[in-house]
Structure 1
Amino acid sequence: MHNTEINKIYDTYAPLADQEWRSDLVRSVREPSIRGITFPSFPSADLQRHLQGNSNEMAIRGALSFREHCVGVLNANGAPLSKDSILIDFGTGWGRIARVFMKDVPAANIYAVEPFDFIVEARKVNSYISFVKTDPLPPLPFRDGFATHLVTWSTFSHFNQHYFDRWISEIARILRPGGVCFITTLGVRFLEDLKEAHRKKINGQEIHFWIDLVLKRLPYNAIDTAIAEVRAGKFFWLASDSVARSEFAECFVTDKYLSDKFSDLFAVIDYADRGQLAQDCIALKRK
C-alpha cells in the first residue's frame, strides 16, 4: 500500500474536530466505508471480549476515552502528537488502541507490538498500520530513541515485577529524550473498589466475572494491607494459578513506585487515579 493510501485516515481526519472522528470511528463498526475511506474492520466479538471484556462499539468508545486522555495530557505538557510523531502501541491485542490514534499520527508512523497470536487477527482487520510480533521479554526490534510516544492499555497491570521492570527499562531505551509514554495500572482506587464489590457479593448482588476472580485470590481482610503497601510505593503482586503463563496475573502499583525506582529514566508528568479511565494511567516523560 502506498503511503498516500496508508495515511488517508490521518490526512482526512487530522484537520477535523475530535467529535467527527469519534462518531465516524464508532459508525465504522457497522459501516465499512465512510467519507470514501475503507475503515479497518473488526475481529469476532468473541475474540474482542476474550481480550478486554467487551466488543465493537463499547470497545472503541473505551479506546477513544483513553486516546482523549492521552491527547489532553500531551497537549498540556508541550509534547503533542503530530504528523512527525512515531507512536508505538505496546501489547496491542487486536489493535483497538492503535486504531484510535490514526487521527493524530499518520498510520505509516504507528507500530503495534504484541507477543501473542492475536496479532494475526489484528493484521487481518487493519492493513494501515504496522503490526510487529515480539517476544514476551525485551528487546523490541527498534533502535534506541526510535519513538516519540508510546501507549499501552491493560498490559503493565498484568505483569509480575520482573516483567514490569524489564519493560519499563526497554521503553526508556526506545523512547527519545522528551518522549512520553502512557501506561495503565491498577492502584489504590481499584483495591478500594474491591471492598465494595466484596460487600455486594456477600449481599448476593452480581459482580463482574473478572472482579470475582480477583476477589477469590485476595481475601477481604488482606485488602487493607495491600492498599497500605501500594500507597507506600511498593509493588503488590497477586499471582494466579489459572492463567496460561505464571508471569501474568494482576499487579498493583501507583506513580510512586515508578518515580522512586525509575527516576533516572523518567519523570511522572500525570497520574490519573480518580476514575477518569477504567484503569489508572501514569504518564512518564523520558529524561
Structure 2
Amino acid sequence: MFHSGSIDLHRTFRDRDDESWLDILVSSLRIGEIDGVSMPGFPAEELQREIHGHSGEVSLHEAHAFFREVKSYAAFAGRPIAPHRTLLDFGCGWGRMLRLFMKDIEPARLFGADSTSRFLQEARRCNPAVNFLSCELVPPMILAPESLDYVVSWSVFSHLDEFLASRWVEEFARLLKPGGLLMMTTQSRRFIGFCAEQRLKRASGIRLDHPWHEACADSFVDETLENSRYEAGHFLHAASMQPPHPLSHYGEAIIPRGFVVKRWGHLFRMIEFLDNPVRLPQVLVVLQKPG
C-alpha cells in the first residue's frame, strides 16, 4: 500500500503544532529528508502554477490556511481530525492539500481524487504514501458508501456548474458516514466585482497577469443582473465553453448561501458559510451529514 517512510512521517511529526508543520513543509521544498524522514516531493513549478496560479512556498501557505480552517471546523462540529479518520480531497491536483493532513491522519486513510490523469501521475510520483484515485467528470466514485469522515475540496466548486456541483454533493452524501463533514470552497459575491476589474484593466490596455484573469474578464458581464440573481439565491456560473463542448460544465462559479440551504439542505445541515477574505480568499462552506 505505502512505504514505511510514510509511517515514519506520521509518527515523527504527529505531535508538532500546525505552525511548526508548515515550517517543515516549506523546508521540504529544498531538503528531501528532515529528522530522518524522506519527505514527499514536488512537481515542476510550471505545473503548480498551471493549477493554482502560484507555486512553492506561496502555495503551501494557501494550503495551510485551508488546512487550519478544516481542522477548526471539524473540532467545532464534533468530528475532530484524528489518526483513525478517513479523508478525501476532491479535485486534489498534484496532492498539495493531502500532505498537510499526513501529520494528523494516517497516510493510508488519505485519498485524493482528480479527473486529470497527468495531475494524478505527478501526485503519485511525488507522494506514494497516500491513495490517489481517478474519477470521471460525473459520479459515482469507487469508494464504498459511508466510508469517509471528511470530504474537502479547495477551489473546485468555484468552477463546476450547477448540474455537476449538485451531482457531486449528492455523491458525497452517499460516501460520508453519518456526522461526516463536507468542507468546500466557492467564489464569493465579491468575485463579480473582481471580474469587472479585469474587464476594466483590459479595456484600459493593461496586460492581464494570467490566462485565468482573461477568463474572469469574460465572466459575469452584467453586474446588476448577477448581483440580483445572487440575492435571490441562484447558482451563478459563467461557462468556459458553450455546449456541447465538454468544458461547458466548467468555468467560474459563485454559490450563495441561499442556494446551499435550499437545494442541498435535505442532504446536509450547514455548519458555516465563511466569507472572510482575511482568513481565506474563497468562501468556505461547511456541511454536516445528519446522523
Paired residue type of 1:147: L
Rounded to whole Å, the distance in 2 between the matches of 1:203 and 1:27 is 41
The alpha-carbon distance between structure 1 residues 244 and 265, as it changes in their structure 2 partners (threshold 3 A), is closer
Q: How many residues align?
A: 285
Q: TM-score, normalised by structure 1?
A: 0.93
Residue 245 of structure 1 deviates from its aligned partner by: 2.1
Equivalence for 1:261: 263
Paired residue type of 2:282: Q
The alpha-carbon distance between structure 1 residues 63 and 165, as it changes in their structure 2 partners (threshold 3 A), is same
Do the aligned partners of 1:3 and 1:108 also contact (CA within 8 Å) in 2?
no
Structure 2 spans left out of the alignment, 5+ residues: none
Residue 212 of structure 1 deviates from its aligned partner by: 3.3
Do the aligned partners of 1:272 and 1:282 also contact (CA within 8 Å) in 2?
yes
Rounded to whole Å, the distance in 2 between the matches of 1:42 and 1:4 is 19
Residue 4 of structure 1 deviates from its aligned partner by: 5.1
Do the aligned partners of 1:267 and 1:284 also contact (CA within 8 Å) in 2?
yes
Establish whether residue 251 from structure 1 lines up as the match of residue 253 from structure 2. yes
Equivalence for 1:212: 214
Give the alignment's Cα RMSD to 1 decimal.
1.9
Paired residue type of 1:143: A
Structure 1 spans left out of the alignment, 5+ residues: none
Most deviating of 209-218 and 266-275: 209-218
The residue correspondences of 1:175-214 to structure 2 (distance < 5 A) are: 175-199=176-200, 207-209=208-210, 210-214=212-216
SS at structure 2 position matched to 1:184: strand
The alpha-carbon distance between structure 1 residues 190 and 217, as it changes in their structure 2 partners (threshold 3 A), is closer
Most deviating of 237-246 and 128-137: 237-246
Percent identical pairs in the alignment equals 29
Which digits, 9 at most, give the CA deviation of each residue in 1:68-122, with x for residues without a partner?
1111111222211101100001110111011111112111100111111110111
Rounded to whole Å, the distance in 2 between the matches of 1:55 and 1:10 is 24
Paired residue type of 1:12: T
Most deviating of 108-117 and 193-202: 193-202
Do the aligned partners of 1:187 and 1:230 also contact (CA within 8 Å) in 2?
no
Which digits, 9 at most, give the CA deviation of each residue in 1:22-50, with x for residues without a partner?
10011111111111111100011111111
Equivalence for 2:171: 170
Rounded to whole Å, the distance in 1 between the matches of 2:5 and 2:100 is 17
List structure 1 runs of 4+ shifted beyond 6 angstroms. Answer: none
Which digits, 9 at most, give the CA deviation of each residue in 1:242-273, with x for residues without a partner?
98722211111122211111111101101111
